[in-house]
């Protein structure tokens, strides 16, 4: 067994998880215990999207699609009832709705007893992550978050086979994204359809006292501030007020986001202060070191 420990300082918690095995397709469903791989949260997640299954807008010129699938426990075959599934993506004009009360192309729903979910939306398009940088093009993708009690929250992205920039994108081109790069097919109704089945991983619970100690606002120098807040079993990270990443606990006082980055390691001092070291890769690999400036409890 591989142990993952949050180093004790008075009342902090010790946790452990098992190493994961393999996932196989038996012709009908997945079997195994390898979870669906994670991806970056990105800067455009908005909590509070409405419960709805139809995200299509009247008058849209985007290609209609259906995204459906099942949510399974870590064994890859037990469906999860009432899992909360959220998706969000840009419109046909490369734009995310980040401000309106309509939450365009954003929505959530609860899975049925058999673990199924289904969204009607449009096919997103590629866009430049940084308008002034030609090499910053991202391929078309759909963001997804799946939240289930006693399972590790999943933040991931779905890509499309043959899509422009998939092979050159920093995140779509990694091996972890292979099983999330999907084929768009026609269903019996003649609509373009994507099937994405999700295998959750077991939650690694941390005591509330741990989150109470590490959440808050950190001064990392040069007028940069990094804020950590708890969201279910994830640690959300904002930099200078912008939500950038979701991180899960991986051991050794460290939380990790997306595909390895950002990585935040906390040091709990005897005088009850907390230090953090954050390694990011956006726009380039950089380390921020700071101390908790403001706590929330």
Domain boundary among 182, 202, 222: 202
Residues 99 and 215 in one domain: no
Domain boundary among 171, 202, 233: 202
CB 171 within 8 A of CB 281: no
Give how many domains the chain has, as a whole number. 2
pTM for the whole thing?
0.84
Domain that holds residue 283: 208-294
The Cα 297–Cα 295 span in angstroms is 6
The Cα 40–Cα 253 span in angstroms is 20
Residues 34 and 109 in one domain: yes
Tens-digit pLDDT profile for the chain (297 aa)? 333 445 544 333 332 222 223 445 555 544 445 789 999 998 899 999 999 999 999 999 999 999 999 999 998 989 999 999 999 999 999 999 999 999 999 999 999 999 999 999 999 999 998 888 888 899 999 999 999 988 899 999 999 999 999 999 999 999 999 999 999 999 888 889 999 999 999 877 778 888 889 999 999 998 899 999 999 889 999 988 889 899 999 888 899 998 888 999 999 888 889 999 999 887 678 899 999 987 655
Return the closest-CA partner of residue 98 out of 284, 285, 255, 243: 243
The Cα 252–Cα 15 span in angstroms is 11
């Amino acid at each position: 067994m591989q142990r993952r420990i949050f180093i004790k300082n008075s009342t902090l918690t010790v946790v452990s998880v098992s190493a994961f095995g393999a996932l196989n397709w038996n012709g009908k469903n997945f079997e195994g215990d390898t979870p669906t791989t994670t991806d970056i949260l990105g800067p455009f997640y908005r909590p509070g999207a409405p419960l709805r299954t139809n995200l299509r807008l009247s008058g849209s010129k985007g290609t209609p699609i259906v995204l459906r699938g099942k949510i399974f426990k870590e064994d890859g075959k037990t469906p999860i009832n009432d899992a909360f599934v959220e998706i969000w993506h840009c419109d046909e004009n490369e734009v995310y709705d980040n401000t309106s009360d309509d939450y365009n192309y954003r929505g959530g729903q609860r899975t049925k007893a058999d673990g199924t979910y289904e969204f009607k939306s449009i096919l997103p398009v590629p866009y430049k992550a940084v308008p002034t940088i030609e090499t910053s093009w991202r391929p078309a993708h759909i963001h997804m978050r799946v939240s289930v009690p006693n399972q590790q929250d999943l933040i991931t992205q779905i890509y499309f086979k043959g899509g422009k920039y998939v092979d050159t994108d920093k995140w779509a081109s990694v091996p972890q994204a292979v099983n999330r790069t999907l084929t768009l097919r026609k269903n019996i109704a003649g609509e373009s359809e994507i099937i994405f089945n999700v295998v959750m991983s077991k939650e690694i619970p941390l005591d509330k006292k741990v989150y109470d100690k590490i959440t808050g606002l950190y001064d990392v120098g040069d007028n940069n501030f990094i804020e950590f807040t708890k969201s279910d079993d994830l640690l959300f990270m904002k930099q200078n007020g912008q939500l950038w990443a979701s991180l899960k606990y991986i051991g050794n006082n460290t939380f990790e986001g997306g595909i390895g980055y950002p990585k935040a390691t906390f040091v709990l001092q005897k005088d009850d202060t907390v230090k953090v070291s954050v390694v990011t890769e956006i726009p380039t690999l950089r380390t921020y070191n700071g101390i908790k400036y403001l706590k929330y409890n």
